Each structure stands twice: as C-alpha cells, then as structure tokens.
C-alpha cells in the first residue's frame, strides 16, 4: 500500500495562488508595520537553531494554508512511513533510512548492521589516527584521499571544510572529477608511501570514481608499493569492491536504503571521521539525530524543516521565483551551496509525480550560492536590482572559532543582517532623490541618477542563526535541509529519492568512449556531436 505521496489537492493550491496574487501587491515591510510581533511570530527556535522567515511575504492566512497543504499531502503519514522503513522510494522499490545511520542503539529506527559498521569505522579510524594501522611497508598514513563523486564526495567535502577547526588526524583530500587535473593536482604533493585512498562509491561502478581509483593504484605501483594495502572501500556493492582487489576487512558497506546524497552519516563519512576523529563524528550524528526527533514530533509551525519547506514552496510554486540563493555568512560553509545543489536538485528536480503523471506545477528551483561577504562583491548587485526576484537563505553563526579575531566576526554579522534588511527595505525613488538633492546636480541629471540608485526592495530572505559551527550544529543543519527536501517532495507529490535524470548522459558517455578510441563509428550521433568529434580529431591549431 502506498504511504501517501499523492501531493496536495488542487483546491488548496488555488487558495494559495490567490494569497500569492495578494502578496504581489503588498510590501513585506507593511506586514511588520501591521504586526509588531511579526519577527517572533514568523520565526521559530529548535534545538539551538533560530529560523527567521519573517522577512518573506507570508502572512497568517498564507501560512495557515501552507500548513494545510502539507497536512493534505499526507506529510505526517509519509514521514512516519520513512522512519518505519517502508519502501517509500517507490520507483526503485527501496526504503529510505538514512535516519538510521545516526540513530543510537535502542532508538526505534536504529539498525543493528549500521551500528556495527559504525563501530568498525571507529576502530579503524582510531587505528589510522593512532598510527597502528599502517601501510604494508610499515609507514603511518599522513594523508587520506577520498575518491568519489556526487553523494560520495559532496557531503564529506562540505563537512570536512565546515569542521576544519576539528581536524587533528591525517590530512584529508578529495578527488572527484574524471578530469585528470583533479587527480594530478591533488596527489602532486603527496607521498605515496604514506597515502591512504578511500574509494567511496555506493555502486562501485561509477565511471569517474573507478577511473580515479585505477589511477591511484597505478600511482602507488609506480612508486613500488603494494597498492592493496593503501586502499579502503566504502560501498553497497561488497562483491564488486572485493573483485577490484580490496580486502574484505577494509570494506565498509551500507545498505541500499541509503541514498547517495543522504549518505554522509555512514561509511561515506569515513574520510571525515579519519580527519576529525570518532568523537567529533559522533557529535555530528547526535546533532542530526536531534533534528530527526524534532522533525518527527514538532507540530505545525513549530516544525523547522516543515517551515523551511513551506517557505520554499511559497517562493517557488506560489510566487514563481525560479531560483534560490543560499548564502552562508560562514566561510567554512563555502561548499554548502554545492552540497545543497545535489541534495535539492537531484531529489526534487523532477517533472512527473509519483504515479507517473505530469507534475502540475514547477518543481525544484535552481539552488546556488557563495559565502558572504564574498558574494556581496560579485552577484549581490543582481539580487538587489536585477529584474528577477531571488529569495535568499542566509546562514549565520553567533560566534566564530577565532576569539582573537572577534572584530572579523562582528563585521561578518553586520554584513549579513544588513543584506537581509536592504533586500526587504530597498530605497525608494523619493529617498534617492532626497539623497542627491543639494549636490548641485541639474534636475534631469538628478532624476536619472536617482533612478539608478533606487532599490525596489520587497525581496524576501530567511535567516538561520546558530550558536557556533560545531560538529553537532553541522549535523542539525544538514538534517534540517534533508527533511526540508523530503517535505517539499511530499507536498509536490514526487519521489525525492530516485535520480533517473542522470542516466541518459551516463549511457551516451559510455557509447562515445569506443568512438573516441576509434573502435566504433559515429553515424548514429546527431550532426552537432559528429562535427565536434571531427574537430577533436583535427591537429591542435585547427580546432
């Protein structure tokens, strides 16, 4: 029996469309003027996080209907089904149980196998970090290179950077791209004798990863080393990892109910655990587990992932904003936007509903971003004055990790708050004229300049405030986004857990390899591909 997944009813979407039409004719600032308690009423605190969505154009009736939408879509039922391990990934006939990877022993949705693997990971990490697990030649490992792509890369990369202050183990590096530049540039300064490779691939078939792993093996062999002793595999495909030559005790596996983009919490996080240590890794799991419990039990507008999801639905499906910027005012979250691109766009970038019918409305927005303040000096011009409205999600820590550089943090905070304020308030033409008056400008010049200096404002943003970017906080934040993506998917009636859209390109790339090797003809390729293939064959100066 299907556990929901039918999306929300049309009547509610219609009601929300009329709320959206009304919102287009009012200013967010007026909502604050009408309700002095709006900032408190349209924000919520949970588990050390504060989510402020008051600087959006959601008013009380819109929020009530957004909540009704989630309820009518069967979110509670589907959430219970996910935690209970039902096969809610219907197109792949799989359960979706990443929450089990961070569930402690005794928890209802814990998994004995996952706990056992976690214990093995801890023991291995302690051995590598303590120098007892060594290379076959007897050298401790100084560098760890994670080879993986997509979900087998982005989570660990993002978290490794986010938790830089906690690194006290071997240096951690990442190779993901099949472009040889990635492998060459990453390994250039490394000593093969003291390097451990973690080959992370759920399927152990991904072209990029298998090519990089083969190059790693060749790199070790060229240094005269016994390559197998320098490898660890992280995979659901134990047999393939063994067949590739990795010793069974060096394989850390996970079940098929862990989706690639939700896999940071298990063996895919092994490289991270090696770098920050099991204790900090456990703290990250605890933070995520706390968010799981919150998502499961908090009601209505008190549920943070749900409110983040509803804000997303409001901006994309109701107001029609096609993109969303994620701007962490936290330099160490520089890779969060890239991580969220996969989490959100691979999960919810779909055009058919769970039952195969065409989706009645747009799905996922384009998710993008860069850390503040850097983004301010690049694309914020467009956010403030461009012709499209881009809702912004700010993330901000109350405290940094460098008390000796406190003024940096103060300036960071000032900039983050200022951007949210500027986006909402804007600056009217009258204000711009007044600022230019008395500067001796001719009237037509003043008018022209005033127009350039006017900001429409009324541009929405949310702010997620947290205490400090510790492992526990990171765990909470990432689980918050995971559940947000899930809730949006349920409301849209799509399956957030498959990714068929990546298959066609993979198949065509595979079919092009023999053509590029000169073993097959290109006649079934389109004219553009054939022309480019011809150009690739030309001597360098003729391309």
Q: Is 13 or 339 the residue whose CB approaches ligand F6P more closely?
A: 339
DSSP-derived 3-state class of residue 420: helix
What is the maximum alpha-carbon separation in the chain?
Answer: 81
* Residue in 208, 283, 344, 346 annotated catalytic: 346
Sheet-wide strand order for 231-235:
171-175, 143-147, 195-200, 231-235, 251-253
Q: How far is the CB of 202 from ligand F6P (least distance, A)?
A: 4
* Residue in 377, 398, 408, 537 annotated catalytic: 377
Q: Is 206 or 373 the residue whose CB approaches ligand F6P more closely?
A: 206
Q: How far is the CB of 154 from ligand F6P (least distance, A)?
A: 8
Q: How far apart are the first and last CA of the chain?
A: 57
* Residue in 14, 506, 521, 537 annotated catalytic: 506
Report d(CA 81, CA 84) in Å as an integer: 5
Catalytic: 506? yes
316 token code pair: 């994309």
Q: Is 195 or 209 the residue whose CB approaches ligand F6P more closely?
A: 209
Report d(CA 96, CA 497) in Å as an integer: 8
Q: Which residue has the tokens 């919810």?
A: 348
Report d(CA 248, CA 61) in Å as an integer: 58
Q: How far is the CB of 280 from ligand F6P (least distance, A)?
A: 24
Q: Which residue has the tokens 């989510």?
A: 51
Chain positions contacting ligand F6P, by CB under 6 A:
149-152, 201-203, 206, 209, 260-261, 346, 499, 502
Q: Is 35 or 256 the residue whose CB approaches ligand F6P more closely?
A: 256
CA-only gyration radius of the chain, Å: 25
Report d(CA 273, CA 268) in Å as an integer: 10
Report d(CA 430, CA 186) in Å as an integer: 55
Q: Is 8 or 157 the residue whose CB approaches ligand F6P more closely?
A: 157
C-alpha 332 chain-centroid distance:
14
Q: Is 313 or 485 the residue whose CB approaches ligand F6P more closely?
A: 485
Q: How far is the CB of 475 from ligand F6P (least distance, A)?
A: 20
Q: How far is the CB of 199 from ligand F6P (least distance, A)?
A: 9
Question: Among positive and negative, which fits the CA dihedral 526, 532, 535, 537?
Answer: negative
Catalytic: 537? no
Q: Is 137 or 509 the residue whose CB approaches ligand F6P more closely?
A: 509
Q: How far is the CB of 260 from ligand F6P (least distance, A)?
A: 3
Q: How far is the CB of 481 from ligand F6P (least distance, A)?
A: 16
Q: Which residue has the tokens 């006649």?
A: 523
Query: Which H or E run contains 307?
Result: helix 304-313
Sheet-wide strand order for 392-397:
43-46, 49-52, 461-466, 392-397, 323-329, 366-368
Q: Is 394 or 497 the residue whose CB approaches ligand F6P more closely?
A: 497
212 token code pair: 């990089």
Catalytic: 377? yes
Q: How far is the CB of 540 from ligand F6P (least distance, A)?
A: 32
Task: Write the DSSP string, 239-275.
Answer: HHHHHHT--GGGEEE--TTS-GGG-TTTGGGHHHHHH
Report d(CA 354, CA 252) in Å as an integer: 32
The residues assigned a catalytic role are: 346, 377, 506
């Amino acid at each position: 029996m299907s556990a929901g997944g039918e999306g929300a009813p049309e009547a509610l979407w219609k009601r929300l469309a009329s709320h959206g039409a009304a919102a287009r004719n009012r200013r967010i600032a007026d909502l604050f003027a009408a309700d002095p308690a709006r900032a408190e009423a349209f924000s919520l605190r949970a588990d050390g996080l504060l989510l402020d969505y008051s600087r959006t154009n959601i008013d009380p009736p819109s929020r009530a209907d957004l909540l009704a939408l989630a309820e009518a879509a069967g979110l509670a039922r589907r959430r219970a089904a996910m935690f209970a391990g039902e096969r809610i990934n219907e197109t792949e006939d799989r359960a979706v149980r990443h929450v089990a990877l961070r569930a402690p022993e005794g928890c209802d949705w814990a998994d004995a196998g996952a706990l056992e693997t976690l214990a093995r990971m801890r023991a291995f990490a302690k051995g590598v970090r303590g120098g007892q697990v060594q290379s076959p030649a007897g050298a401790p490992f100084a560098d760890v290179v994670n080879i993986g792509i997509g979900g087998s890369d982005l989570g660990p990369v993002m978290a490794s950077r986010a938790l830089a202050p906690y690194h006290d183990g071997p240096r951690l590096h990442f190779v993901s791209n099949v472009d040889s530049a990635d492998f060459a540039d990453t390994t250039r300064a490394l000593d093969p004798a003291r390097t451990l490779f973690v080959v992370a691939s759920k399927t152990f078939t991904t072209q990029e990863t298998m090519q990089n792993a083969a190059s790693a093996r060749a790199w070790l062999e060229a240094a005269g080393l016994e390559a197998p002793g320098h490898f660890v595999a992280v995979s659901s495909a134990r047999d393939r990892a063994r067949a590739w030559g990795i010793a069974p005790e060096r394989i850390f596996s996970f079940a098929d109910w862990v989706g690639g983009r939700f896999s940071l919490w298990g063996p895919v996080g092994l490289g991270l655990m090696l770098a920050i240590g099991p204790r900090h890794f456990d703290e990250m799991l605890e933070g995520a587990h706390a968010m799981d419990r919150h998502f499961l039990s908090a009601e209505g507008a008190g549920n943070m992932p749900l409110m983040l999801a509803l804000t997303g639905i409001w901006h994309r499906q109701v107001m029609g904003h096609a993109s969303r910027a994620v701007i962490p005012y936290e330099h160490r979250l520089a890779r969060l936007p890239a991580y969220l691109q996969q989490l959100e766009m691979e999960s919810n970038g779909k055009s058919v509903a769970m039952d195969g019918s065409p989706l009645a409305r747009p799905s996922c927005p384009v998710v993008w971003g860069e850390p503040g303040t850097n983004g301010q000096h690049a694309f914020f011009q467009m956010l403030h004055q461009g012709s499209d409205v881009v809702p912004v999600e700010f993330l901000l820590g109350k405290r940094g990790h460098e008390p000796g550089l406190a003024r940096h943090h103060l300036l960071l905070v000032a900039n983050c708050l200022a951007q949210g304020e500027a986006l909402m308030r804007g600056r009217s033409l009258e204000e711009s004229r007044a600022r230019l008056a008395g500067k001796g400008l001719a009237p037509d010049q003043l008018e022209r300049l005033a127009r350039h200096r006017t900001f429409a404002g009324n541009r929405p943003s949310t702010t997620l405030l947290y205490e400090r970017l510790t492992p526990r906080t990171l765990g909470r934040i990432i689980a918050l986004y995971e559940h947000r993506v899930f809730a949006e998917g349920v409301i849209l009636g799509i399956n957030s857990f498959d990714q068929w859209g990546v298959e066609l390109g993979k198949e065509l790339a595979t079919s092009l390899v023999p053509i590029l090797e000169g073993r097959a003809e290109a006649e079934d390729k389109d004219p553009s591909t054939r022309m480019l293939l011809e150009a690739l064959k030309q001597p360098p100066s003729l391309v």
